[in-house]
Amino acid sequence: MDLFQKVVNNMGPLGQLADVGYGYYYFPKLEGEISNHMTFRGKPVLVWSLNNYLGLANHPEVRQADAEAAARFGMGSPMGARMMSGQTKYHEQLEHELASYERKESAYLLNYGYMGMVSIIDSLLDRHDVVVYDSESHACILDGLRLHIGKRFVYPHNDMERFEAQLKHARKAADLSGGGILVITEGVFGMPGDLGNLKGIVAFKEKYGFRLLVDDAHGFGTMGKSGAGTSEEQGVMDGVDLYFGTFAKAMAGIGGFVATQKPIIKALTFKMRSQIFAKSLPMPMVMGALKRMELIRNHPELREKLWTIVTALQKGLREKGFDIGKTQSPVTPVFLKGTVQEATQVVADLRENHGIFCSMVIYPVVPKGVIMLRLIPTSAHTLEDVKITIDAFSEVRTKLTEGKYSKDTFPPVADKY
């Protein structure tokens, strides 16, 4: 078999709609400044698919800080990896601020959360160590685990009984090998929006002796009284040994960080291959992140506004009988029943006739026959946006249950690849 032929024949689960949905469901081009109102294919749309939780992407002070840093330093600065020639006092300052925000001793910046998470896992573990992790963990955790040659035990999403059962296996395995145990979960699970049971997990620490790593990509800046994340929300900041956040969501930037004890950060900085062998975060990202941190710390009203919109949207959807699962965070899934084809027609109807842009999740990410529309409320949205959206969702749901969308054809919306 020719390798290229094989690759083309099997484009993976996400490639299934490549020909019918390129440029529309996948790789759509949203145009205009980042906000609740943007343009899609020349038409204005109300956008619910950006993780711009606190509305910082287009905040005037953020835009100014980003632009000034780009003008002062250029995008190329600093040149080189942190370890060799890419270290600056601003990188260190941002790390100090992140550590203090997370009430940890120390923090280290990551170029892209994804790459960082892979390397955190890789750096912490050797073949004697054992991992216990949630079955719905993000791809960056699963890919980090691919590098781990020791034992691993997965537990069904948030199932604390099975978690303890797996911990028992892990304890036995670690005692035999002489290794340690790392438990990994997300804080806010990015697809369904429910929270990792951090409190429940932390309660087992004493009995089984493990370290806890939490990926709080969606919780950083949005959850907890001061926005410090899901660990703050659940009152277990001390119980989380390693806190991981990304700048890709509430911070509306690029990059991420890990916060933990100082000696562990010291070890990670000498071991994380994706950071040692890759260029340092550019200065505009770092200066821009400092400005974002200042706003997050000093303007709780940004988070309050976010939660006003979240509450209105989730309450409104529930009142209209929509199934929004178990979300406890801003992430708002709406579960409907239908075929993949119907899902594509619903989304096209929402975009073309109601001017509403949201993301669609279909089989195999969700079970066959389930359509998940995912809404991300932000502090840039208004209560009027919420009302328009709930009304539109009610209309498309009626059409869906009345069988008005074709069950077996896709709307002709794709761009030519």
Ligand X SMILES: Cc1ncc(COP(=O)(O)O)c(C=O)c1O
CB nearer ligand X, residue 179 or residue 282: 282
CB nearer ligand X, residue 148 or residue 397: 148
Shortest distance, CB of residue 415 to ligand X, whole angstroms? 25
Give 284-330 as a DSSP string. HHHHHHHHHHHHHHH-HHHHHHHHHHHHHHHHHHHHTT-B-TT--SS
Shortest distance, CB of residue 394 to ligand X, whole angstroms? 29
Q: Give the residue at shortest CB distance from ligand X.
A: 113
Helix (H, G, I), strand (E, B) or coil at 107: strand
CB nearer ligand X, residue 142 or residue 414: 142
Shortest distance, CB of residue 51 to ligand X, whole angstroms? 7
Count of CB atoms within 10 A of residue 175's CB?
12
CB nearer ligand X, residue 20 or residue 293: 293
Rounded CA-CA distance 107/94 in Å is 9
User: Looking at this protein, which amino acid is placed at residue 97?
Assistant: E
- Tokens representing residue 290 in the block: 């400092």
213, burial (CB in 10 Å: exposed 0-12, middle 13-18, buried 19+)? buried
CB nearer ligand X, residue 246 or residue 280: 246
Task: Return the half-sphere exposure (C-beta side, CA atoms, 13 A cut-off) of residue 157.
Answer: 14
Q: Quick check: 196 and 187 in contact, CB under 8 A?
A: yes
On the question of a cis peptide bond just before residue 78, with omega within 30 degrees of 0, the verdict is yes
Contacts of 348 (CB under 8 A, 6+ apart): 24, 411, 413
Shortest distance, CB of residue 191 to ligand X, whole angstroms? 9
Shortest distance, CB of residue 354 to ligand X, whole angstroms? 27
- Binding stretches for ligand X (CB under 6 A): 112-114, 117, 138, 140, 186, 190, 215, 217, 246, 248, 256
Shortest distance, CB of residue 114 to ligand X, whole angstroms? 3
CB nearer ligand X, residue 186 or residue 241: 186
